[in-house]
Amino acid sequence: MSAPANPRAAFAAASFAALRAAAGDGQGEVLHLPLADIDEDPGQPRTLFEEEGLALLAASIRAHGLVQPVVVRPAVDGRHRLAFGARRLRAARLAGLAEVPAVIRRERDGDFAAQVIENQHRASLSNSDLVAAIARLAADGHTGKEIATICALKAYEVSAFRQAGNFPPELRARIDQADMRALYDLYRQWRKTPDAVLAALPEADVVLTVTEARRIVGGITGRPTGSLVLDRPVPAPAAPVHDPATAPTTDSVELRADGGGLHRAKPDIQEGAGQGEGKPQPMAAPGPAATEPVQPPVFHVTARDGAEGRLIVDRRAGGAGLVLVAYASGIAEVNAADLRIVRVE
């Protein structure tokens, strides 16, 4: 009797099959339907649409047409409800198309998960949309590992999203202008020193990165943050907190192909209580404080084309598997798997 297949691999294969189905692969003849006869799905996972991305997609459609058909439900009273392809449908409208190629498919169990998969592989959902989608997937009975596969996230990232409902209003209001791991780190510190965390938050229009969150936490606790940039003082609601400049820790770093840029090899994020994703991991012990300011290291990298650039470590790229690299000609998004570190200054 053959050994059972790896459950995670089997689920990933099923998810890929769902993605192919969402794209209309093998679902029958492609029809051309009037845009005016297609309604969007009010229950789809994506509610926020990035205008610049839609404009770029519309320009591509004007030049080459809509290459990938949308998927719709069978008509009811002459109208079709969209199942997959909300961005393509909106971009087609921007491009001025009167009709679009479409595949008709009946509703099935697991379609919501397939919608999340398609969205994450085409253009990542906003943080707020992911919070709602992960909550719904959990309510539908999916395990944390299955949710991570569906959403193209790491397990600890899923834990961060599942804690979003416990964030104070001041952190919830920043969900779509922040790295979720940054908010999770601030939430963990907020549970211990709520007033200090809220007082240290930057202006509402400032994007909260992991680096900034670690700077805030380090300023409150007086401990090294492990950040790759120099710590700066943080205002406190009471007496000023002594915040010595600290050197980067000696933890190893790695290029991660999830759009997150450069990360410590062992993330210090903990599993949320009661999430069933494993035991909480202890916080890393603080390293020795430096007596002189230390400049952050600069990572010089090359891609397959041989061009050399500088890795940007404190900003996220716009898609999964991508990182930002500063070249002489400007900043570009590059597949992390194609990069090689050539030297560190």
Stronger pLDDT, 238 or 59, i.e. the higher one: 59
Cβ 66 vs Cβ 101: under 8 Å: yes
Domain positions in the chain: 7-126, 154-344
How many CA atoms does the CB half-sphere of 337 hold within 13 Å? 4
- The per-residue pLDDT for range 180-202, each reduced to its tens digit, is 999 999 999 999 999 999 999 98
Q: Which of 74-83, 110-119, 161-170, 298-307 has the lowest mean pLDDT?
A: 298-307
CATH architecture of 7-126: Alpha-Beta Complex (3.90)
- The per-residue pLDDT for range 202-241, each reduced to its tens digit, is 888 888 898 899 999 999 988 765 544 334 444 545 554 4
Cβ 284 vs Cβ 226: under 8 Å: yes
Q: Which of 82-86, 89-93, 122-126, 178-182 has the lowest mean pLDDT?
A: 122-126
% residues pLDDT > 70 (the chain): 68
Q: DSSP letters of 7-52? A: HHHHHHHHHHHHHHHHTTTTSS--EEEEGGGEE--TT-S-----HH
The model's pTM: 0.49
Residue 43 has pLDDT above 80, yes or no: yes
Separation of alpha carbons 200 and 92, rounded Å: 44
pLDDT of residue 279: 43
- The per-residue pLDDT for range 96-143, each reduced to its tens digit, is 999 999 999 888 878 888 888 887 877 788 899 899 999 999 998 999
Closest CA to 221 of 166, 283, 279, 170: 283
C-alpha angle 173-261-51 in degrees, rounded to nearest 5: 50
| For range 74-81, the mean pLDDT | 90
C-alpha angle 62-119-116 in degrees, rounded to nearest 5: 155
